[in-house]
Structure formats: structure tokens, C-alpha cells
Amino acid sequence: MRPLVISVGISLLLCATPGFCANTDAARQAFESAMLALNAKDYPDAEAGFRKVLQLDPRNVSALANLGVLYARTHRFTEAVDIYKKALSISPEQRETQLNLGLAYLKQEDYTHALPYFKQLHGRDPEDQQATMLLATCLTFSGHTEDGIVLLKPLTEADNTNPAALYLLGIGYSRAGQVEEAKSIFGRLFADSATPAQASFLQGKAYAEATEFEQAQQAFQEVLRAEPEFPGAHRELGKAYLGQNRNLDAEKELLQSIQQDPEDADALYYLGAILVQTGRHQDGLPYLEKANSLLPDSWATYYYRGKANLLLNHAAAAVPLLRKATEINPDDSGAFYLLARAFKAEGRGHDADAAMQHVMALHASALDVERRTLKDAGIVKDGGISGDH
């Protein structure tokens, strides 16, 4: 579910740019108080403070940008995106806000929407390694692997190469089918690893990213043989089993991961999803609810919670969950389909019809995109399949 995201941190836009500080004493005091609360991780007080600033000064870019930081830190990425966009509509050249907006998309694995922000940052300063890495990440995971490789290769030729650049380049070569190049890169990376367990973990992650799930399984088993308490190893082994449709083995590993770390949101989500998918709807709900509290912008947790409630004949509970899933991810036809079923079960025929219209529109759009792609490739012509292929 979650491809590689290079962790570069979310920067904080401080009130240090001339022209963007609060323009009244009351607004300035509210902003300073909110910043203190934000730095102290007192997020409710910080949010209230930034909101107060914006009541007094609606175009205060510093308040908007730092409110976005707050939303990102509390995993409310959809809200972060909205607030960053508002800040950029007022001040389009704010690098920190462009960076944070791209990161908010990246945290949601929305590489297509993140791409233009990192492309702009990289174009402005091609020597900025952070922007280069982020752009390469988006290219690698949005179907432009070769372009990602071109960006990454210079970063891996220095003596003190960033391990993240090596890792991402190895993923790029794997996804491009350049097996020997990938092996060479991973060999360099693993040679510098601190322990055999860390090397095996990185190798397992690389195999998983390339959808080589059996090899990933073997690598994570090596990790656990070397260090039985290695953080995240049980979760990743469970995901490798999922990739092989070995659900019972996956459940066992995910449960161990949760016992090791009760706040492991990914393990909670995957376990809850397995239980719902295999008909144990009631059993899956507590795991999904906990995952949802840790990942409030995860459309998939809302989706599976909604699905579980619908199949438990709790349509009234399913509707708001599925509606939220469609709001966060309006491109998923499955969520709209289940929402239509939930509306129908509630006797809301008009709403059910509207949701089904979304399903049909999404299917039509997907078919249109596929046809245009085939046409561009010369496989389909206006009259049908090309006779040249």
C-alpha cells in the first residue's frame, strides 16, 4: 500500500520573511502564542491561535503556512493541502510552502500531484539535493522511472553518497527491469550497513517495492533470525505474505507487530483490512478504528470501516465513513459503489442514484484514458484496433 517515501522532514515556516508577519499587535501576540504552542506540540492551542490570527488578518501567510505544518504533523494531510494552497495563492514563490505542499501529497502517496511542486523547486535550484531526491521519488513511483534514474545517478557518484539516494536508485533499476544494475547498487548500500539485520531489512524493502514478495519474505525472515525484536520486521514480513495471498501467515505477523508496537498504524490497518476482506467484519473494526485515529486522512481505513459496517447491516454507520472515503479519494469507484449500496439500504434512492452516477463516470473516464493511451501508442485508431499490430 505504501511505496517508498524519502523522509526529509517537514520544514517550519517561521515569521522571518519581511512582509508576512502579523500586521496588528493582537495578531502578532496570537501568532507568537500559537508558535510557542506548536513548538511544544500543544496542537489544539496552536490551531486555535493560528485561527485567531487569520480572523484578524485573513491573508497572513505565516499563519496559513504554519497551520498547514500543524495539520501535516497531525496526519491531516487533506486539510494541510488546502491550507498550503491558500497560502500559495497569496504568495506563490514561498519555497517552504511549495515544499510542504509537495510533501503533504507525498505522504498520501499522491505522486502525480506532488510532482509539479518538486519539479518547480528542482528547476529553480538543480543543485538542491532535497528537491532532486523528492522529484526522483515522484518520478520513480509515477511511471517515469528512467527520468528518476537520470536524476539520481549523479547523487550516487560522490564519495559520501546519501544512502537514501542509493536505495531509491536501486528501486528505480529494479522497476525498470535492470536487474544487474540494481544488484550492484544494493551491494554498495548493504556493504555500508551497520548490521546484517539492517542490510536484510533494506533488501527486503527493496524486493517488496519491486513486488518480488517471495524474496522479500526471505529477507525479512533473515532479519528476525538475526534480531527477533527488529522494529517493523514483523509488519513487513506480514505485508510480504499478503503479496503472496498467504493471509493466515500475514495475520500472525501483523499481530506480532502490533504486540511489539500497539501504535503501528500500518500493521493495524493491514490486519483490519484482512479481517474485513475475509468476512470477519466485527473482528476487523477495532483495528481499523485504531488505525484511523493514528492516520485520520487514510481513505482506505474509512473505506474498510464503512464496508464492515455495511456488511454488518449497519448502513447508517457506514454512510458517513464511506462518504469520507470518497471525499479523500474521489477517484476510487469502489467507495462510491459501496456508498450507493449504503444509501439504498437506508432507503435514500436519490442519493444512491447519484453515487452510482459517480461510479459510471469514473469507469467511463478510466476507459477513455486507456483508449487515449492505446491511440497514442498506435494500437487503437478512431475506427478500432489498428491493423498494424
CATH homologous superfamily, domain 1-107: Tetratricopeptide repeat domain (1.25.40.10)
Average pLDDT over residues 210-229: 90
pLDDT digit string (tens) for 248-267? 999 999 999 999 999 999 99
pLDDT digit string (tens) for 59-78? 999 999 999 999 988 888 88
Q: How confident is the model at residue 199 (pLDDT cuts 50, 70, 90)?
A: confident
The percent of residues above 70 in pLDDT, for the chain, comes to 86
- Tell me the longest C-alpha to C-alpha distance in the chain: 74
Q: pLDDT value at position 7? A: 35
Question: Distance between CA 90 and CA 214 in Å, rounded?
Answer: 50
pLDDT digit string (tens) for 5-23? 333 333 444 333 333 455 6
Q: CB-based contacts of 323: which residues, under 8 Å, 6+ apart?
A: 339
Q: What residues pair up with 380 in beta bridges, in sequence order?
A: 385
Question: Distance between CA 249 and CA 240 in Å, rounded?
Answer: 10
Q: What residues pair up with 277 in beta bridges, in sequence order?
A: none
User: SS3 for 305-338, per residue?
Assistant: HHHHHHHCCCHHHHHHHHHHHHHHCCCCHHHHHH
Q: pLDDT value at position 164? A: 83
208 near 220, Cβ under 8 Å? no
Question: Distance between CA 382 and CA 81 in Å, rounded?
Answer: 39
* Domain assignments of the chain as residue spans, ordered by start: 1-107
